[in-house]
Amino acid sequence: MLRHYVAPYRKYLGGSVLLNILSAVLNLVSFSLIIPILKILFNLDDKVYTFIPWDSAQAGIGEKLLNNAYWAVSQFMQVHGASLTLLLLCLALCLMTVFKTASYFGASAVMVPIRTGIVKDIRMEIYRKILSLPLGFFSEERKGDIIARISGDVQEVETSITASLDMLIKNPILIVFYFGALIFISWKMTLFTILFAPLMLWIMGLIGRKLKAQSLEAQTLWSDTMSQVEETLGGLRVVKAFLAEDKMEKRFEGVTGAMKEKTGRVMTRQVLAHPVSECLGTVMIAIILWFGGTLILNDKSPIDAPTFIYYMVILYSVIQPIKELSRAAYGIPKGLASMERINRILESRNDIVEAAEPVRISEFKESIRFEGVAFRYGDGGKEVLKGVDLTIPKGKTIAIVGASGAGKTTLVDLIPRFYDPESGCIRLDGVDIRQASLRDLRALMGNVNQDPILFNDTIFNNIAFGVEGATREEVIAAAKIANAHEFIMEKELGYDTNIGDRGSKLSGGQRQRISIARAILKNPPILILDEATASLDTESERTVQEALERLMSNRTTIAIAHRLSTIKNADEIIVMDEGRIVERGRHEELLALDGYYKKLNDMQAL
């Protein structure tokens, strides 16, 4: 599952493998010094060693290596005495331990770029996916859940899986080398030891499978928690206005209480790793100690007492990597549960597919035409648009009016391909927009929405958003056209003023004028206005409307409006009801029809 994330860091993995092999070899060599040390201390060796030539065929390489090493030690001891020999062996043990621990450190250090890199790559892939997914995806998903996946789930992957990569590389190497040494020393006792391995693996696997299922439930509850926090922050004004603090607190306590219980079960199983492996390891050591000790006491063992102690040291050493491997076996299922949740975003299907060889569009020449366009949200949802036919000529201002839910916003959202129609097509200068380059298509359009979407950044960067390399002079010119320059200069830092989250430090009218300035700077030939003045007071509306009229001059404008007074001068007014166009014409013509538009106009005149 993580293979393609690990691939860019193969060189680090190779370095870790080499350093772990080196540390395992140094560990075995350093432990082997225990044998001559014990023999010297307790005067247990009365064997006379003779040097075996390296090219001799009378013994294997391992036997020659051990024999010649003991011969060298015995020769040195005869010349310099047992005390100095013991001192040098102890110093050699310390030196080998330094090299061994340095190799351990190096092996772990080279894994750090892998851990941090994988987490960064996963977050970037989720973020790119979020940017590429159509708007329809986010109408079905909770923002808090998505935030939980890019934060908590990715963090869980880091702590549970990438942290285990070190253990998954180091421990198998140590286990292989240690068991190799154990087989070399006594294959009979090692075979007896291996009989316990399947039992340990079965117990670890049983706990690990249950852990994964519970971890998935716990991460889902974490998403619920984040979603509620996001909802509370977004609706704090309403919560306070309706005195609903206690209600929201109880609701939050319910979800956090459930998460506490589920997380508690997960953590309880996770902490089982150490005691279970410790218990099984101790039982195994005790059995081998009894079995091997009995053979030595009865003079039936092929190895002597110091070598048996070395065997037990290696056997005890193999317990630690097995325990760490068991912790990884418990931790990885927890991380895999989070990875499953992440993959639900990464594997989400994007219905807005660009053509294999898209038509390149550099300018808007003639018209936008809707031909029998129908649309519904989701499979089996209510049909929002029903057979819409509409032509929007270049340079004209087209206003779209109707009651809430009539399909106005959906209609204009189809033009930049935020959604694709269920049937019918939309043509720009005769080209089906599904065959056009998505980037070229959206480059022709500018949006000003009812709720201005601004970012926690400076005024300058918000106006220059989406325009590469915009100069301060160009930004100021756009702000002046949008009637924004005056209030901007009243700020202490002017254009370098930070406007807060979603522009919270500005008034509604100021936010809208910043949004208009952004559209002016982009200078698009097609302008989409979605009730741009609907939420403003009368004074702000007048100022913003004046800015909009400057923005609309010499452009093709599609304006959604609730206040009919703002679109009286439109070249054509499209009246929609329940997904259909029911009337169309200029303001006076529609009033003369004495139909749906007249009814809307009379209601607003009251």
**pLDDT at residue 372, as a whole number:** 92
**pLDDT at residue 374, as a whole number:** 92
Dihedral sign, CA of 388, 390, 396, 399? negative
Tokens of residue 244, six digits: 């609903």
**pLDDT at residue 207, as a whole number:** 59
Q: Are the CB atoms for 23 and 166 separated by under 8 Å? A: no
Distances (CA, A) of 83 to 39, 41, 49, 87, 279: 12, 9, 20, 6, 40
Q: Is residue 491 part of a domain?
A: no
**pLDDT at residue 455, as a whole number:** 84
Q: How far apart are CA 586 and CA 569, in angstroms?
A: 8
Q: 427 pLDDT exceeds 90? A: yes
Q: 168 pLDDT exceeds 90? A: no
Q: How far apart are CA 405 and CA 78, in angstroms?
A: 102
The pair phi, psi for residue 372, each rounded to 5°, is 60, 40
Crossing angle of helices 305-346 and 34-42, in 10° steps, is: 150
Q: How far apart are CA 66 and CA 70, in angstroms?
A: 6
Burial environment of residue 7 by CB neighbours within 10 A (0 to 12, 13 to 18, 19 or more): exposed
Q: Is residue 66 part of a domain?
A: yes
Q: 377 pLDDT exceeds 70? A: yes
Q: 403 pLDDT exceeds 90? A: no
Which region among 189-203, 255-269, 428-442 has the lowest average model confidence (pLDDT)? 189-203
Q: Considering its fold, how many domains does the chain have in total?
A: 1
Q: Are the CB atoms for 170 and 22 separated by under 8 Å? A: no
Q: Is residue 62 part of a domain?
A: yes
pLDDT digits (tens, 9 = 90+) for 131-141: 887 777 776 66
Q: Are the CB atoms for 488 and 497 separated by under 8 Å? A: yes
Helix, strand, coil share of the chain (percent; to 5): 65, 10, 25
For residue 580, the cross-strand partners are 577
Q: 205 pLDDT exceeds 60? A: no
Q: Are the CB atoms for 586 and 571 separated by under 8 Å? A: yes
Q: Is residue 36 part of a domain?
A: yes
Q: What is the mean pLDDT of residues 5-23?
A: 85
Q: Are the CB atoms for 454 and 502 separated by under 8 Å? A: yes
Which region among 15-24, 175-184, 266-275, 572-581 has the lowest average model confidence (pLDDT)? 266-275
Q: 1 pLDDT exceeds 60? A: no
Predicted confidence band at 209 (pLDDT cuts at 50, 70, 90)?
Answer: low
Predicted confidence band at 76 (pLDDT cuts at 50, 70, 90)?
Answer: confident
Q: What is the mean pLDDT of residues 310-334?
A: 74
Buried-state track 437-448, b at ≥16 Cβ within 10 A, e below 16:
bbebbbbbbbbb
Q: 497 pLDDT exceeds 80? A: yes
pLDDT digits (tens, 9 = 90+) for 481-495: 888 888 889 888 899
Q: Are the CB atoms for 470 and 438 separated by under 8 Å? A: no
Q: Is residue 110 part of a domain?
A: yes
- The one-character DSSP state at 565 is G
Burial environment of residue 535 by CB neighbours within 10 A (0 to 12, 13 to 18, 19 or more): middle
Distances (CA, A) of 64 to 36, 53, 69, 305, 310: 16, 8, 8, 21, 19
Q: Are the CB atoms for 573 and 401 separated by under 8 Å? A: yes
3-state secondary structure of 451: coil
Task: Calculate ∠ Cα 407-411-416, nearest 5°.
Answer: 150
Predicted confidence band at 10 (pLDDT cuts at 50, 70, 90)?
Answer: confident
**Torsion-angle region of 558 (φ positive above 0: left; ψ -120 to 50: alpha; else: beta):** beta
Q: How far apart are CA 425 and CA 389, in angstroms?
A: 10
Q: Is residue 313 part of a domain?
A: yes
- The one-character DSSP state at 7 is G
Which region among 16-25, 206-215, 267-276 has the lowest average model confidence (pLDDT)? 206-215
Q: Residue 60 is part of which domain span?
A: 3-346
* Residue with the larger pLDDT of the pair 335 and 571: 571
Q: Is residue 428 part of a domain?
A: no
Q: How far apart are CA 117 and CA 191, in angstroms?
A: 41
- Give the percent of the chain with pLDDT over 70: 80
**pLDDT at residue 219, as a whole number:** 62
Q: 277 pLDDT exceeds 70? A: no
Predicted confidence band at 329 (pLDDT cuts at 50, 70, 90)?
Answer: low
Model-wide pTM > 0.75 = no
CA dihedral in degrees (513, 515, 520, 523; nearest 10)?
-170
Q: What is the CATH number of the domain that holds 301?
A: 1.20.1560.10
Q: Is residue 306 part of a domain?
A: yes
pLDDT digits (tens, 9 = 90+) for 561-597: 877 777 888 889 999 988 899 989 998 888 888 888 8
pLDDT digits (tens, 9 = 90+) for 17-51: 898 899 888 888 887 777 776 666 566 555 666 76
Q: Are the CB atoms for 575 and 402 separated by under 8 Å? A: yes
Q: 424 pLDDT exceeds 70? A: yes
Q: What is the mean pLDDT of residues 290-294?
A: 77
Predicted confidence band at 58 (pLDDT cuts at 50, 70, 90)?
Answer: low
Q: 251 pLDDT exceeds 60? A: yes
Mean of per-residue pLDDT scores for the chain: 79
**pLDDT at residue 40, as a whole number:** 63
User: Tokens 């003369």 belong to which residue?
Assistant: 592
**pLDDT at residue 557, as a whole number:** 87
Q: What is the mean pLDDT of residues 266-281?
A: 67
